[in-house]
Structure formats: structure tokens, C-alpha cells
Structure 1
Amino acid sequence: MPRTPQQYQQLKEERRSALLKAAREVFARRGLAATKMTDLAAAAGISYGLVYHYFPDKESVFATLVEEAIQDGIRLLTAERQGPGTPWEQLQRFCAQILEHVREETSIPLILVQARASESIPAPVQRALERYTTQFFQQLVELIEAGQSAGQIVKIPAAELARLLLSTVQGLALTQVLPRPDDAPFPATDTVLRLFRP
């Protein structure tokens, strides 16, 4: 029996999602410059030609991953800022979720680091990265400023604290893929935020 249009659309979305999931791992390990479309197809378990039904080139796949990652961060931060509790409690929840994500899924922070550091990133990806990063960073600064106004966060320029937090998260993502002592525990949220306390 032939597929219905809804079944066909669902299958298409599932394949696209599987391709993006596989691409995260490939790009995190190999980077944009060293990755080929054949690598993405092989990792996703689909034919080389089928990849082109979803994306015209590897740069488009990479751009999609970068954009989705930052938009997910913005959604998470926005949800926390609109949630219950004090600014400090919102920051704690946000930080806990980000750290859990880094512990479970290291590829996204690694891709974001590559996108910022690599000279081979296409201009549209750089522009999208700058646009979304600015939006995300500004929301984080505003949350920190709210905590400072409430006397819950140390009075250091909020942009410095925001950069410190993001750098810590990126550094922890790197330590997840680099050799480390077996007895080195992953830092707790309170440990990461200790410098934020007045």
C-alpha cells in the first residue's frame, strides 16, 4: 500500500533529523573543512544522493546545526527567565540544564567552538552565529543583571560573568572529549556558579 502524504512527510522529517544527528558527531570530530557529504551520508546510513534531497551542500548542514544549537539555547534561557523563582534560581536551573547537556551531548558545544574559531566557515553561517550569539548573550547578561539588582549575584560587570560562564561550559565540553583522569568528576552547578555569589 502506498504511503499517504502525511506518512511521506513524517519519513522525510525522520530522515532529516537522523542526518542532522549523525552530522553533529561527524562535524564535532572532523570539523567542517575535513568533512565530506559522503561522510554525512555514511554516518546517517542513507545514500549519498539522498543527502542532497535535504541539503544542497555540507555548509548548509553545518549552518543548520549551528543555528539550531543557538536557537535551542535562546529558547532554554527564555523559558528560564519566564519561569518561577528568583534570578539566582533561574540562573541555577539554566546552568544545570546546560551542564547536563554538555555532559550528555558534547558535539554541539564543539561545533559552536569550531564555528567561532574556523576560517573556513561560510559568511552566512558567521552572520547567523553572530546574530544569534548576540541575542543569547544579551539575555544572559540581563538575567545576571537582574540577579545583581536583587543582591544575589556579585557586582562584577555582567558581561564578564556571562563570558565566564559560557567559557566554562565550552571548556567543560572540550574536557569531555580530551583524555582526563578517571577520578575527575564533572563539576556540579554550584561549583561552576561559586564565583557568581556575592
Structure 2
Amino acid sequence: MPRTAEQNQRLKEERRRALLKAAREVFARRGLAATKMTDLAAAAGISYGLVYHYFPDKESVFAALVEEAVRGGIELLASARRRPGTPWEQLHYVCTRLLEGIREEPSIPLILVQAHASESVPAVVEQALDRYSTQFNRHLEELIESGQKAGQIVNVPATELARTFLATVQGLALTQIFPQLRKTPFPSTDTILRLFKP
């Protein structure tokens, strides 16, 4: 019995998600410049030709991953702001979720670091990264400023605190690629946020 259009669409979405998941690992390990479409197809367990049904080139795959990662961060901040509780509790929630994400999927922040640092990132990726990073930073700074107004966060420029927060999270993600550092205790949310206490 042939598949329905709905079943075909569902299968296509499942394969696209599987391809992106596999691509995260490949790009995190090899970087954009060293990765080939054949690497992505092999990691996803699909044929080389089938990859092109979903993306025209590896840059498009990388761009989709960057956009997905930064959009996920924006959604995390937005959901934290909707949660009941103080700005400090909301920041604690964001930090905890980011740390959980690093332990579960360290490739996501590694891809973002590569996207920021690589000279071979195409213009479309740079534009998406700039657009979403600006939104993310603005939301994080607003959360920090709310905490400062409530007397819960140290009175230092919010832009500095946001940068410190992101650098800490990204630095912890980088430690996940070193086997000897993966064995050391991972800092808790309270340890990281101690810097932010007044």
C-alpha cells in the first residue's frame, strides 16, 4: 500500500531531523571547512544524493543548525521570563537549562563557537547569527537588568554580565571536547551565578 502525502511529509521531516542531528556531531568535530556532504550523509545513514533533497549544500545545513541553536536560546529566555518567580530565579532556570544542554548535547554550543570564530562561514550564516545573537543578548541583558532593579544581581553593566555569562557557558561547552576534562566535576548553576550575586 503506497504512503499517503501526510506519511511522506512526516518521513521527510524525520529524515531531515536525523540529518541535522548527525550533522551537529560532524560539524562540532570537524568544523565547516573540513566537512563534506558525504560526511553528513554517512553520519545520518542516508545516501549522498538524498542529502540534496533536504539541503542544497553543507553551508545550508550549517546555517540551519546555527539558526536552530540560537532560536532555541531565545525561546529558552522567553520561557524563563514567562515563568513565575523573581528575575534571579528566572536566570537560575536559564543557567540550569543551558548547563543541562551542554552535558546532553555539547555539539550545539560548539557549533555556535565555530560560527563566530570561523572565517569560512558564509554570509547567510553570519547574517542569521548576527540577527539571532542580537535578540538573544538583548533578552539576556533585559533579564539581568530586571534582577538588578530587584537588587538580586550585582550592579555591573548588564552587557558585561551577559558577556561573562555567555563566555562561561561556551567555555564549559569547549571543555566537553577534551576527554580528561569531561571526567572533572561540572560546575553547578550556583557556582556560576555566584559571580552575579550582589
Q: Same fold (TM over 0.5)?
A: yes
Report the 3-state secondary structure (helix = DSSP H, G, I; strand = E; otherwise coil) of the residue aligned with 2:176: helix
Structure 1 residue runs of 4+, over 3 Å off? none
Equivalent in the alignment of 1:144: 144
Alignment partners' CA distance in 1, 2:91 and 2:143 = 7
TM-score with structure 2 setting the length:
0.98
Equivalent in the alignment of 1:178: 178
TM-score with structure 1 setting the length:
0.98
Return closer, same or farther for 1:20/1:196 CA change in 2, 3 Å cut-off. same
> Are residue 158 (structure 1) and residue 158 (structure 2) matched?
yes
Equivalent in the alignment of 2:19: 19
Equivalent in the alignment of 1:122: 122
What's the CA shift for 1:178? 1.3
Equivalent in the alignment of 1:71: 71
Alignment partners' CA distance in 2, 1:76 and 1:181 = 27
What's the CA shift for 1:80? 0.3
- The answer to whether the 8 Å contact 2:80/2:94 transfers is yes
Deviation string, structure 1 residues 36-90 (Cα, Å, up to 9, x no partner): 0000000000000000000000000000000000000000100101111000000
Return closer, same or farther for 1:9/1:182 CA change in 2, 3 Å cut-off. closer
Return closer, same or farther for 1:29/1:181 CA change in 2, 3 Å cut-off. closer
Alignment partners' CA distance in 1, 2:53 and 2:116 = 28
What's the CA shift for 1:183? 5.6
Alignment partners' CA distance in 1, 2:55 and 2:76 = 27
Give the % identical residues.
Answer: 73
Return closer, same or farther for 1:17/1:87 CA change in 2, 3 Å cut-off. same
Alignment partners' CA distance in 2, 1:17 and 1:131 = 23
Equivalent in the alignment of 1:30: 30
Alignment partners' CA distance in 1, 2:165 and 2:180 = 21
Alignment partners' CA distance in 2, 1:131 and 1:167 = 19
Equivalent in the alignment of 1:56: 56
- The answer to whether the 8 Å contact 2:175/2:182 transfers is no
Alignment partners' CA distance in 2, 1:78 and 1:197 = 22
Equivalent in the alignment of 2:7: 7
What's the CA shift for 1:181? 5.1
Alignment partners' CA distance in 2, 1:164 and 1:183 = 24
Return closer, same or farther for 1:182/1:123 CA change in 2, 3 Å cut-off. closer
Return closer, same or farther for 1:188/1:128 CA change in 2, 3 Å cut-off. same
Equivalent in the alignment of 1:135: 135
Alignment partners' CA distance in 1, 2:33 and 2:181 = 31
What's the CA shift for 1:179? 3.6
Return closer, same or farther for 1:181/1:70 CA change in 2, 3 Å cut-off. closer
What's the CA shift for 1:182? 6.7
Deviation string, structure 1 residues 13-38 (Cα, Å, up to 9, x no partner): 00000000000000000000000000
> Are residue 89 (structure 1) and residue 92 (structure 2) matched?
no
State the aligned residue count. Answer: 198
